[in-house]
Amino acid sequence: MKFATEYLWFSTGRPREYINVTKEVARIVHNSGIQEGMVLVSAMHITAGVYVNDAESGIIQDIDEWADRVAPKGPDYHHHRTGEDNGDAHLKSLLIHHQVVVPITGGDLDLGPWQQIYYAEFDGQRRKRVVVKAMGE
């Protein structure tokens, strides 16, 4: 059995940002030598997400606006009694989900033609990370 574990670090310029990490995840899988298995890509923060969708700039803007409509910034969340102001980012993380599992087949990510893996930052401008863990044979 083979394993590979790497951490991707991010420090976005904007509070919310969407970063395509597909190539990084593919590189980790290729370096692992795993031919068959699965790779988990999981945010290590509670105000960020990881999702699979399209690398088209319009849909990325739609995702951003939609997440902010369903889980709006600003309202007086109970969480803000702690001095934080990022209650919305916690809810956006739940909405988008914080992780995906990608199958590895024949040594490669087994994704559909338009599927790309994205890191979704909902409370950025600080150092944050994603764990990528591959396992298989």
Residue type, 35: Q
Determine if 22 is a binding residue for a copy of itself (CB under 8 A): no
What does each C-alpha distance from 102 to 22, 31, 55, 89, 99 come to in angstroms? 10, 16, 17, 25, 10
Determine if 87 is a binding residue for a copy of itself (CB under 8 A): yes
Among 8, 25, 50, 71, indicate the residue that binds a copy of itself (CB under 8 A): 71
Among 11, 33, 70, 125, indicate the residue that binds a copy of itself (CB under 8 A): 70
Among 24, 40, 68, 107, indicate the residue that binds a copy of itself (CB under 8 A): 40
Tokens read off for 107: 């040594």
Nearest Cα to Cα of residue 129 among 4, 10, 14: 10
- Token pair 């809810």: residue: 91
3-state DSSP: the chain helix, strand, coil percent, rounded to 5? 30, 35, 35
Determine if 108 is a binding residue for a copy of itself (CB under 8 A): no
Determine if 59 is a binding residue for a copy of itself (CB under 8 A): yes
For binding to a copy of itself (CB under 8 A), which residues are involved? 1, 3, 5, 36-38, 40, 42-46, 51-54, 56-59, 61-63, 66, 70-71, 77-82, 87, 90-91, 93-103, 105, 110-112, 114-115, 129, 131, 133, 135-137
